[in-house]
Structure 1
Amino acid sequence: MNYIQANHVLRSTSECGPFSGTYRVVLVNQQTDRLWIIQFTYADGGAISHLRMPRCYSVRAIELLIRQLSVDIVEDAAPAEWLQSDAQIQARYGRFNDAQRCSQLRRRDVRWSVIEPIVTRHTPFELLECGLYQGVVGSRAAELGVCVKKVAGILNLYWAGGGNVNALLPRFHNSGARGQIRIQRKKLGRPNIAARNSMPELEGFLIGEEDRQRLRFGWETFVRPGKTVGSAYRRTMEAFYRAETASEEGEQVPILKPAHERPTLRQFRYWGNGGNTRKSATYLQLFDGDFERNFRALPGTARDGINAIGQIAYCDATSNDVHLVSAVSRIKPVGTLSRIKIVDGLTGLWAGIYCGFDSPSTKTALMAAANAAMDKVDFCARFDVEISSDMWPAIAFARYLGDNGEFRSEPCKQSISGIGSTLEFAPAGRADSKGPVESSHRQLHSRLDHKLEGTTYGRARRRGEDHPALDAVLTYFEYMRHLIRRIVHYNNYERCEHLLTTEMRRDGVTPTRISIYWWCVENGYIAGAPPSADAIRAHLLPALPAVLTGSGIYLVRPDRGRKIELISGARFVGEVLLKKGLMLRARGRHEQVEVRGDPQDLRRIWLVFEGIHELKNVSLDSLAVREWTLADHLSVQDGDALARHLAKTELDQDESALDSALFADIDKAKQEKRRELDRQVEPLSKKQRTANIRRNRDEEKELMWRGDDKPGKSPNAEPAVGGVSESLLPPRSSPRPKSHSPALDLLRNFGKNRRTK
């Protein structure tokens, strides 16, 4: 196998090699085992000013040294000027609006004209293998009237450059000792006004090595956010270039040296950063993270390194920028919502969301992750949006990338690891590290939130401007319906041709995110399947305090501290409570339990007891079960409690009035009963008074059926005692005319006979 070819660059890696330095292969003749190479750098890497004629070696011997690692074939690092076109060189070195060719191109063309007849008429094989080199070079030198050394040097330079005409360019790129700091013996730059007016002693300050170090130290120390370069310059002069220190009014004031004995502001700017762009004033005056967030170069995209769906999720929280109203009254504003989004890193699919009244926290972050990992058909159906499982898939991600806010907590880490995933955090102040979810916030704000009545437009209220809550009209249930519609439209119908790969285009994939998602699933571009719904509910849904009673499980208000106050509209019953006898056991003594559920959806909760079991809300108010959130329940319960408290005075007054009327009738009835007892001839015993109760009841029923007046009703009754108004007493029937009753006559005769005996 042939290792060496023309234009290869060889470098010796051992002192025992046949040559030292770097050589370029000019000609390889395998038949005669001859290799012609020309040296263009020394062993230390320094360039050779005058190139010698190519040398001849054995091809097999050099290939053996290559196998022994004594000689290396290295990459050809050509100077940048060799790769530029004439137009680029002219634009770089030529004068503006000058039709003449620049000095570099003119010198190159002169050199090329010297060797052009040689290169075009003879091949390297003829010149080197056939021995025509000396004769051809000598003839061309005689023809031009120049020395042979000049023609040979240009030809050798052309070969050392690999046959590139631009190798004949003058080496201006090395001019000025690039990277080397010169020792100044004379002030650089044009003379100042003092030197122009015959005052050489005031021509300016000469910068030395120590001065450069001082200026760099002052630059790095005093150029800071909020500080100008001028103020940093003065602090540097006070630190290193002061003549003395004077005391003025008890303060130590530095006295600076004269201007010509210290560096100028321009010298401070030039030597302060030392040519390092990372130490420029613009960079140093930025606050932490400003450069990386707003000014750094963007060599890649957010999808770099992501090749499967479910590989990484970008997570972030924001406000919905819209004031809402209560579910029970549209004139009762309830404020804005907090929203957390989960976005797939590969497709940009909006995989999950939390939107509720609770501020961003560990609980809400896990609820967003749970929403992304579970089927959302029932979630959308609650808000009257019909979808299929294919339109909004369930995705449990291998990695969740959040910021240092709601996701950064130990319970959140443990819950995420409980479903087999990991949690990562973006650097503080680096929102650009999760750009896809940040851009999704802006899209949703502009497409939905800022179009609604009551929007804040994402800014504070200006002076004199009405509060946006005055215009709020939508309830939480109505807002969520439109939010879900926007998400479904974005995932299923918005076009995204920029996400299509060649494979997708060949398979005719529709340029929508959901189509790309299912194509990735079918072709194996997926990080893993989501865990079971029970595992997600057990680990990601928040724990809700509850009490187990004989009539079911009631949720407990979370805002009462250690006091247990039940939520009246949140009673849950399930089959497990009956089968396991939990409700029967709790009839004697209530038990505090912990359930899992979504505070924004109280249609059902889950009890973790020998597995996870679903319990349904059995409240009679079906609309409240469907639409109300936990915040709505608490608000209504607080409103009812306040209304009861405010009505307590009136209710007590009504109760007192009713009691007064009752007690007045009782007193009057007692008096009549006492008078009737006093009219008896003989006192009646207790036994006589309680005898024949059943017969008396029958007679009373007969009297009632016949329409007689109630016994004991006096037609000349006096007004109720106590001054109680008749309007507060129960309504009374109008007096009826007395009717003849045989039964009453019989009773009267019976009474008369007893008295005569």
Structure 2
Amino acid sequence: MKSIMRRKSLLIFAKNQIIKINIEKEVTERILWIDSDYSLCFTIDINDKKALPMKRNILSLTELLKEDRLEIMTDEPYRIYFTESELSVDQKEKRNNRWELIKGMASVEPDIYIDYKRGKLIKALIGKKTSKKKYIYQYLRLYWQRGMHLNALLADYSRCGLRGETKNLGGKKVGRPRLYKDNPGMNVTEEVKQVFLIGINRYKPSNKRTLKDCFEQIKRDFFAQGERYENGRKITIIKEDAPSLEQFRYWYNQNVDPEKRNITKKGRTRHLLEDRPVLDISDSKSRGPGWRYQIDATVADVYLVSEKNPNWIIGRPVVYIVMDVYSRMVAGMYVGLEGPSYLGALMALVNTASDKVKFCKEYGIDITEDMWPVKHFPDKLLADRGELKGPKVEQLIESFGVRMENTPPYRADWKGIVEQYFRLLNLKVKPLVPGAVTKEKLRGERNYALDAILTLTDFRKILINAIIHHNNYNWLSNYKPDDEMLKNEVPLYPVDLWNWGIKNDSGRLKFFQEDFVKLRLLPRKENVSVTEYGIHFERGLQYSCERAIKEQWFQEAALKGSWKITVAYDPRCIKYIYILNKDGSYEVCKLLGYLRQYEELQYDDFVFIRKMQKRLEEKEELKRRSEKVIDYVNEIESIKEAAEERSKEAEKISDSQKLKNIDENRKNERNEIRTQEAFILDKAKEEIKKDITQQATNEEIVKGKASKDLLKLMELQKEMGMERKINGR
């Protein structure tokens, strides 16, 4: 068997890739679909307003690439980065309406790309309503040209981002007219929806109560206008303009989760037994690479320390792994301190669509593309009900054309493939790293955390190496190859299975530009302030960018006050944050220069360091305050005692005498202070010393000869001379 390291990188064209072809004229096309044999594909010109899909041969495209007449583009021209929270209600409604019109046929591949079959599909959908035909073609074209994701259908997407308001229906009835004109019905306003919600919580449908029964109870409670008696029975009179059962049923189906509806009706046990969300989920016989990925998270059995201080133990990291079911190739990973949570899962998905050569280079690991050739999204993604549960997250993933599948509770075996990998990873990594949790700690044993020496970056490097080893050198002894694999003697290494699947059973992988994926999936932070000191991400982190400087944001903030913006950020690197512009472009904001000591940190590290600094500050402040208070009090007491002692030794005079000469005493004291505090340079001090020495000598000579009066006169002259020298004036 040939060495894996000598394997040639398999060039692939992928769904949603943009290619520029130069034959007779230059055209830029998007790949819409590739068949499972990897022999033909359909593309569309992304710049032609009347373009329709065209068939191309993969072999011909490969030849054009070799002849430098085809270029695989690395930039996405349609930069539609907006998340759901950044779109108005009106924009989402228009987009969703467009999708509802075409979704039934957009997924019928490859028939929708073939002219005569597409015509039949459209005709079957709209019947004789030919007015809809032009809109169907318009929306399909937008969907194909802009990237085959939900937001491609946004109207005037370059102006998206402004928040709207819910439509005011007014008094006129909207929707289909009632069959009987004398009872026109009513609109389902926000008030009516609130009534429906209260009613559905009060009278939940079950195996004993149908949805219709529930609706009848709601009408009696909220839409009654009186009562009457008939044959001794009380009958409730319902308002003529009450909502209809069809309106209630529509609201119920639109607003109550299908799974919850089924659990309410059947109970959780029957739901799990009879209505499992997915079947055969861990079956290795997937339909080629990218047919299904699995994602899961686990807390690693190793303790880590801070990047800044090896004495700070930061706990155990959370590992996220994305794995291709078909080949067992690890497609993406993330290691962080958050979670398990949706944020960590999104970061793992960002890594899934990233160039792995560049990613490994960031950690000082050199690989070739054939060692980790995955930078694609799958057709389906199987996730736990924790990390990626919720309509916002699911809608975000599905906006890439990825279908979400969630495992039900107590059915962890459905994610067996990725969980088996976690067990394998533990066996390979734990024996090699210090600080690893090897067994349950017994009383009196050394705490494993005390052996921790690895940082988060160190552990990421270890994990990356483990993944590369798995993808290239881990023989899958439990893998069950199909007949074609056995016939072709395919080595059961993940990378070999991936490459063989690409060549023989492809078409499921989806390619998106890395920046596009990052800006769609990276977490957002709202209410970031633009101030005179910079773009204030949070306490201790200030940023700036070219646009802010050019448009004088900070000067404006100084004059008019701060304002709020929303930014995207990568938790793995606090050096940069990103501002999304309305036209789809983005601004890169860099950490200010005086904060460069934090540039190489991850967000988790920065938060941890800040907490440790705060804790240290509080500890030291408390310690110093208590010590200083004691020293301060002792010092004051000592000064006071010395003053009291001097007062006792002084000559006793009356109170009136003390008060009599205050002004004179103040003047004398001031002169004395001036003499003591005068600024005297070093040379002047030397001269004074010489004078004092000479005068002392003269005094010794004179003392024996002069009279007492003469000695007093000399003493007086000496004092006057000293004062003149000191004052220098």
State the TM-score, normalized to the length of structure 2.
0.46
- Structure showing greater radius of gyration is 1
The structure with the largest helix share of the pair is 2
- What TM-score, normalized to structure 1? 0.44
